[in-house]
Amino acid sequence: MNIYIVRHGQTDWNVEGRLAGAKDIPINEKGIEQANIIKEELKNIKFDKVYSSPLIRAYETAKIIHKGKIIKDDRLRERSNGDFDGMLKTEIKEQIDINDPEEKRFNIEGINDFRKRVNSFFDEITKDKKSKNILVVTHAGVGIFARCYFEGEPLNNDYGLYKINNCEILNYQLNTSNELLLNINKVHTTKMGINRIKKNLYIDEDAVGYCKSIITNKKCNITRKGKNYYCELDNIRITVNANNYCIITAHII
C-alpha cells in the first residue's frame, strides 16, 4: 500500500500569517497553481481511494488533483484554535501558548483529542487491504501527527520540524501486513524489506538506491531512545517507532 498525504494549496491567510484552523478559507491563485503541479506529479498513479478534509481549502485542492470520487472525512479537519481562528499568529503570541497540550480554554480543540482523531483515521485506512494507492488531502496540523504516526516523535519533540508546506507530499509505503514501511519523503531511500525481530533488525532484501553500499543478509543491534528504536548501518538510518512501523532513510552521497 502507498499512502500519499498532501497539504492543501496556499491561502491568503497562509500568506498573512493567520490561524485558519476550523475556518473555511479557499485556496488562492498560487494555491491553485500548486495543486495543478501536484496533479501533474501524481498523474501516473491510479488512486483506489481519495480522502479529503471537508474544509474548502483541502477539498478544492483534492478536486484539482483528482477528478474521481473524493471521500470527505471529518477526522482530517485542521485543529480548531477556537476563538483565535482568524487572528494573526503574532497577535496571540503574548496571550496564550496554542501548542500547550493542556490548553482547552477559548474553545480550543485539545491537542491530545486532535491527535486521537488523526490516529483513528490512519488506523482505519492502514487496515484497507484492497487499496494499493490512497491519497489523503489535509492540513499542516494533521500532517504533523501523520508523520508522528508513521515516523515516531520528532527530534527533541520539536513538532515544528514535522510541519509540511502547502502542497508538499508525504509518501509512505507499507506491505500487506503493515510490517514494513518505506519513508520516501524529501530524500532518496533504499528500496528494501526489513522485519523487526525482538532486539535486532534483519535486512532480508538487497538495499538499492543512493546508499554507500549494497547490504545483504546482515543483522544489526538497535538502541532505544524514548519510544523509538534507532540503528545506523552503512549510512542507512533505520527507525522502528512505537507503532512498529519501519522507516528507512538513506543518506545521499
* Cβ(4)–Cβ(143) below 8 Å: no
Q: Dihedral angle at the C-alpha atoms of 209, 215, 217, 219, nearest 10 degrees?
A: -110
Catalytic annotation present for 78: yes
- 197 sits in which H/E element: strand 194-197
φ, ψ for residue 225, nearest 5 deg: -130, 105
Q: Which of 60, 78, 109, 151 is catalytic?
A: 78
Q: Got the DSSP string for 15-66?
A: HHTB--TTS---B-HHHHHHHHHHHHHTTT---SEEEE-SSHHHHHHHHHH-
- 14 sits in which H/E element: helix 12-16
Catalytic annotation present for 8: yes
Q: Which of 8, 60, 66, 151 is catalytic?
A: 8
d(CA 191, CA 218): 15
| Residues with catalytic roles | 8, 78
